[in-house]
Amino acid sequence: MRSYSLIAPAKINLYLEIIGDRADGFHELAMVLQSISLSDRVTINPIGIDAITIRCNDPTIPSDRTNLAYRAAALMVDQFPDMMARHGGIEIDIHKQIPAAAGLAGGSTDAAAVFVGLDLMWDLGLTQGELQTFAAQIGSDVPFCISGGTALATGRGEVLSPLMNLDHLYVVLAKYKNLAISTPWAYKTYRQQFGHTYVSAPQDLQSRHDRVHSGSMVSAIVKRDGAKIGRLLHNDLEKVALPEYPQIQALRDAFAAQNVLGTMMSGSGPTVFALVANQTEADRVLGAVRGQMADPDLAFWTAQFVPNGIHLA
Ligand code: ATP
């Protein structure tokens, strides 16, 4: 048995539309998801005892059964009980670079890496579709994190259609280190304030999905038109997060003043990103906004769009 070291990219949302409620209690969504080069490194090591253990360089991340990477491993042990008996246990070593609770799918991508890593370590030969079916049981973003790149995601986020690769674009990301937004809070508040706009009839749901599939964001992506993608960035959750957290609005305003292609909060936040055309522009915008905000609680990163999800390091 050998170890496998995997790169697990973060994601941002280029588009997030809340369409309605689902019978399973989740929201029906239409999203465009994008992998970026800001990544964790997840190493799967075989160990001599029958156990799943987690090690992480970030002490604020739980290393118990609540870690999404642990939950992914437990699900695989459940599905393939012979494997642990035959090969022993699993140590998962997570080198975190993606900020947690940031709207960047940091936990989901670690879980995705465990599915891919155990498929390799146990030589299961699962298809990507089979891995993604397991992944959907851990979280709505986990199937996307496996395949990555640029994709349209519908359902609760697990029904994926790959889109044209956009690896010529870059982002500047900023997050207040001490600000976390709970994803359940964001969706619950949205339901309270905008539930009356939800679509529920199956034919209406389908026509809303069709509208996104044939809509202007998808056509801008197919044309690799960064300026147009920037103008069309959309996230319904900003409607609840921006009024509640004025500092996120201020960050967004500071990026917008820098003549970027577009700026938006990612997912349920609180990370805000600015879309730019190249690394030089990303460095310029980062320097300008950092200087202007001058807040030690603000962390910044630059990243490039990447065409893949989990891959070998
Ligand atoms: P999403 O965009 O999918 O909503 P997020 O970026 O908002 O994700 P995560 O980074 O996945 O959020 O973290 C959410 C919570 O999950 C954190 O509070 C953290 O304690 C917990 N968690 C469990 N496992 C992990 C992990 N491997 N990495 C980061 N957080 C984890």
- 210 catalytic per annotation: no
Ligand 1 first shell, C-beta below 6 A:
61-62, 66-69, 94, 100-108, 110, 141, 183, 267-268
Which CATH architecture describes the domain 170-304? 2-Layer Sandwich (3.30)
Tokens 């200087």: give the residue.
291
**Closest residue to atom 16 of ligand 1, CA basis:** 107
Three-state secondary structure call for residue 92: strand
Which H or E element spans position 3? Answer: none
Token code pair at residue 14: 């280029």
Token code pair at residue 171: 């982002």
Q: How far is CA 263 from the centre of its chain?
A: 17
Task: Give me the residue spans of the domains in the chain.
Answer: 4-164, 170-304
Q: Which of 60, 65, 104 to mutate to test the pocket of ligand 1 (most atoms within 8 A of CB)?
A: 104
CATH class of residue range 4-164: alpha beta
- 239 catalytic per annotation: no
Helix, strand, coil shares of the chain, percent, nearest 5, are: 40, 30, 35
In the chain, the N- to C-terminal Cα span, in Å, equals: 18
| One-letter amino acid of 43 | T
Q: What is the pLDDT of residue 206?
A: 81
User: Tens place of pLDDT for every residue, the chain, 313 residues?
Assistant: 799 999 999 999 999 999 998 888 889 999 999 999 999 999 999 998 889 999 999 999 999 999 999 999 999 999 999 999 888 999 999 999 999 999 999 999 999 999 999 999 999 999 999 999 999 999 999 999 999 999 999 999 999 999 999 999 999 999 999 998 999 999 999 999 999 999 878 788 888 888 887 789 999 999 999 999 999 999 999 999 999 999 999 999 999 999 999 999 999 999 999 999 999 999 999 999 999 999 999 999 999 999 999 999 9
